[in-house]
Chain A
Amino acid sequence: DAGVTQSPTHLIKTRGQQVTLRCSPKSGHDTVSWYQQALGQGPQFIFQYYEEEERQRGNFPDRFSGHQFPNYSSELNVNALLLGDSALYLCASSVSGTNTGELFFGEGSRLTVL
């Protein structure tokens, strides 16, 4: 049973570019959440997707957008990259929301913006 998989694992971009990160949830999970974890800090909630719609959003600008596909996989897009976007981006999956169930996390995509 595959867990949460994310791609790519590492990538380097320059300021102003755009990036797309991908996530496949754990088998049987229908909800995907994205988190940004800057070095030395705890993960910060970006948004959550359920039934192909954004259900909740954290305090992130519109440059951060996402999508969920019918197979429950998800993408995170970041436009007009800034140096401060350098971080580990974590995807987590769960079943129909996170209020009661624990999240299963992938190993993350480490983005470096130069």
Chain B
Amino acid sequence: AQKVTQAQTEISVVEKEDVTLDCVYETRDTTYYLFWYKQPPSGELVFLIRRNSFDEQNEISGRYSWNFQKSTSSFNFTITASQVVDSAVYFCALVSDYKLSFGAGTTVTVRA
């Protein structure tokens, strides 16, 4: 069985602050993929980043960065210099054997 846990339910920040979202996962598979998705009020889930289980290199893509640590089964996501348009629900997800399992989501509110 696989499970994704996002302990933070809500985060509120002021514009230009950094936001870090925590994600912890469980899986028995040795090959898996981790994702972060964003869900704005419109409802459509938008793909942000993907990482496979064999690549622990952390990267930065624009204002997004992530920290993947297999030893602690964590896949944290950071938004640098947040903007009001970043306000949304963010989901961490794990895919294995064709099934994508989502965490419960973290609501991020960025205040002007």
Contacts and interface: CB of A to CB of B under 8 A. Distances in A.
Interface of A: 33, 35, 40-45, 48, 55-56, 58, 88, 90, 92, 97-100, 102-108, 110
Contacts of B50: 102
Contacts, number: 64
Contacts of B93: 42
Contact of A106 (B44, B98, B101, B105): B44
Given A55-B98, A102-B50, A42 B44 contact: no
B95 A42 contact: no
Interface of B: 4, 33, 35, 37, 42-47, 50, 52, 91, 93, 95-105
Nearest to A50: B98
B91 A43 contact: yes
14 contacts: A33-B100, A35-B102, A42-B102, A42-B104, A43-B102, A44-B102, A55-B98, A99-B33, A100-B33, A103-B47, A104-B47, A107-B42, A108-B44, A110-B43
